[in-house]
């Protein structure tokens, strides 16, 4: 089992300067290497304090130099926001510099303010994602860039530096809406799970993904990658208090950043119709929705955290866990304490979990 650290570059309610946010991310990366986490994972977001990390590949190049062993993960590079030839080159450069340590996460994006700021029509995102994914994945497989599509026309060129190792089995694509799971299965990559509903519902989505993957490729799907918010403390009551405050904050930041409420409709945005239904649901009973989200997160004393994560692993069959300790404004001192307790009492056993024994 790969157990990585998911970084948060959030300045909740702009309480931290951008410089402080990035200093905390660097410190967390150093701690991850020191404490025995398998990888460091960075997201991609633009323009707001929701998550201040416009270039995860550049940041992870810095992390690669901090430690010679830790793996590097993107969760995720949002392909519609990039020229596919350039992003394929950036991926190849980081993998070359790190000696093949990159695990690639890709996605299509959801933030309207980001699409508008980057001048990309949001209703083209699914088409752009699929075309870009085909270009990038093929180039990383073959070393050749070539494509003739609706949005991208790529003359045949060599990808340099040339890839030195296959990427297909270390690539994951983010999925939240039901139809995304089937699309990702057809691409032939792993699925990156981001919990915003019960783990039983997520498990049902994963089962559909696995069936679609096997139908399309005639082989079993790779074990998913699962991202979870975590707070671990020796005192269960304190862990509950911290989790409910800061994970609740994070929930509200997600709803606000993505417009997942009745103030914005997705009904007329092609490819995002599912989120129009989600918006109505999330706005119906705010307290209930917040509690349901907190229930998908992991918090408690070490034994409670271990039990919760083992349950998630059994339900999803994941082979990678990416754990985010900083969310919704958790003070850095609490982030560090939580990481240290977790690394001492939970991490060693978690890394030994037999992925193949999970429900598949």
pLDDT for residue 281 = 59
* Mean pLDDT, residues 294-302 taken together: 98
Pairwise CA distance, residues 301 & 239, whole Å: 7
Q: What is the pLDDT of residues 31-79, one digit of tens each?
A: 999 999 999 999 999 999 999 999 999 999 999 999 999 999 999 999 9
Query: How far from the centroid of its chain's Cα atoms is residue 184's Cα?
Result: 14
Q: What is the pLDDT of residues 170-220, one digit of tens each?
A: 999 999 888 899 999 999 999 999 988 999 999 999 999 999 999 999 999
In-domain check, residue 262: yes
DSSP-assigned beta bridge partners for residue 145:
157
Phi and psi dihedrals of 358, rounded to 5? -70, 160
pLDDT for residue 273 = 76
In this structure, the dihedral spanned by the alpha carbons of residues 5, 177, 314 and 137, taken in order and rounded to 10 degrees, is -60
* Mean pLDDT, residues 93-113 taken together: 97
What percent of the chain shows pLDDT beyond 70? 94
pLDDT for residue 356 = 64
Q: Would you say residue 232 has pLDDT above 50? A: yes
Please give the model's pTM, rounded to 2 decimal places.
Answer: 0.95
Contacts (Cβ under 8 Å, ≥6 apart) of 57: 74, 77, 87, 90, 91, 94
Three-state DSSP state, 42: strand
Q: Would you say residue 6 has pLDDT above 60? A: yes
In-domain check, residue 181: yes
In-domain check, residue 233: yes
pLDDT for residue 144 = 98
Cα end-to-end distance, the chain, whole Å: 15
As a three-state string, the secondary structure of 178-238 is HHHHHHHHHHCCEEEEECCCCHHHHHHHHHHHHHHHHHHHCCCCCCCEEEEEEEECCCHHH
In-domain check, residue 359: no
Lowest mean pLDDT segment, chosen from 86-90, 118-122, 165-169, 239-243: 165-169
C-alpha pair distances (Å), 321 with each of 217, 260, 272, 305, 312 = 25, 26, 27, 13, 10
In-domain check, residue 16: yes
Pairwise CA distance, residues 255 & 263, whole Å: 11
Q: How many domains does the chain have?
A: 1
**Residue with tokens 């990159």, as numbered in its chain:** 102
Would you say 325 and 25 are in contact if contact means Cβ atoms under 8 Å apart? no
In-domain check, residue 358: no
**Residue with tokens 């990416």, as numbered in its chain:** 322
Nearest by Cα to 56 from 124, 3, 2, 6: 6
C-alpha pair distances (Å), 225 with each of 29, 190, 263 = 19, 7, 32
Tell me, what CATH number does 244's domain have? Answer: 3.20.20.30
Contacts (Cβ under 8 Å, ≥6 apart) of 176: 110, 194, 196
Can the peptide bond before residue 76 be classed as cis, meaning omega within 30 degrees of 0? yes
Q: Could you tell me the pLDDT band of residue 284, with boundaries at 50, 70 and 90?
A: very low
Expressed as residue numbers, the domain containing 31 is 2-353
Residue 8 half-sphere exposure, CB side, CA atoms within 13 Å? 26
In-domain check, residue 94: yes
Would you say 320 and 225 are in contact if contact means Cβ atoms under 8 Å apart? yes
In-domain check, residue 41: yes
pLDDT for residue 49 = 98
Pairwise CA distance, residues 327 & 22, whole Å: 14
> How many distinct helices (H) and strands (E) make up the chain?
13, 12
């Amino acid at each position: 089992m790969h157990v990585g650290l998911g970084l948060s570059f959030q300045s909740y309610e702009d309480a931290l300067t951008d410089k402080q946010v990035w200093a905390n991310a660097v410190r967390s990366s150093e701690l991850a290497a020191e404490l025995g986490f398998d990888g460091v994972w960075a997201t991609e977001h633009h323009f707001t304090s929701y998550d201040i990390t416009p270039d995860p590949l550049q940041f992870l190049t810095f992390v690669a130099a901090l430690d010679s062993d830790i793996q590097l993960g993107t969760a995720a590079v949002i392909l519609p926001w990039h020229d596919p030839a350039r992003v394929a080159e950036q991926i190849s450069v980081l993998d070359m510099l790190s000696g093949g340590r990159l695990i690639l996460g890709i996605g299509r994006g959801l933030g309207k303010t980001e699409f508008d700021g980057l001048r990309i029509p949001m209703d083209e995102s699914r088409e752009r994602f699929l075309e870009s994914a085909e270009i990038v994945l093929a180039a990383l497989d073959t070393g050749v860039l070539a494509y003739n599509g609706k949005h991208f026309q790529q003359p045949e060129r060599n990808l340099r530096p040339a890839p030195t190792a296959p990427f297909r089995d270390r690539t994951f694509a983010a999925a939240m809406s039901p139809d995304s799971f089937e699309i990702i299965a057809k691409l032939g990559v792993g699925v990156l799970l981001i919990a915003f509903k019960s783990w039983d519902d997520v498990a049902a989505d994963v089962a559909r993904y696995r069936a679609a993957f096997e139908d399309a490729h005639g082989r079993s799907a790779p074990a998913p990658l699962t991202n979870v918010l975590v707070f671990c403390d020796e005192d269960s009551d304190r862990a509950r208090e911290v989790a409910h405050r800061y994970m609740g904050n994070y929930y509200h930041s997600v709803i606000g950043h993505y417009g997942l409420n009745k103030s914005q409709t997705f009904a007329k945005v092609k490819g995002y119709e599912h989120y129009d239904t989600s918006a109505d649901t999330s706005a119906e009973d705010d307290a209930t929705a917040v509690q349901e989200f907190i229930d998908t997160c992991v918090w408690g004393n070490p034994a409670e955290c271990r039990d919760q994560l083992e349950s998630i692993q059994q339900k999803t069959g994941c082979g990678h866990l990416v754990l985010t300790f900083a969310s919704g404004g958790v003070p850095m001192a609490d982030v560090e304490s939580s990481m240290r307790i977790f690394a001492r009492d939970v991490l060693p056993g978690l890394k030994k979990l037999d992925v193949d024994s999970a429900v598949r």
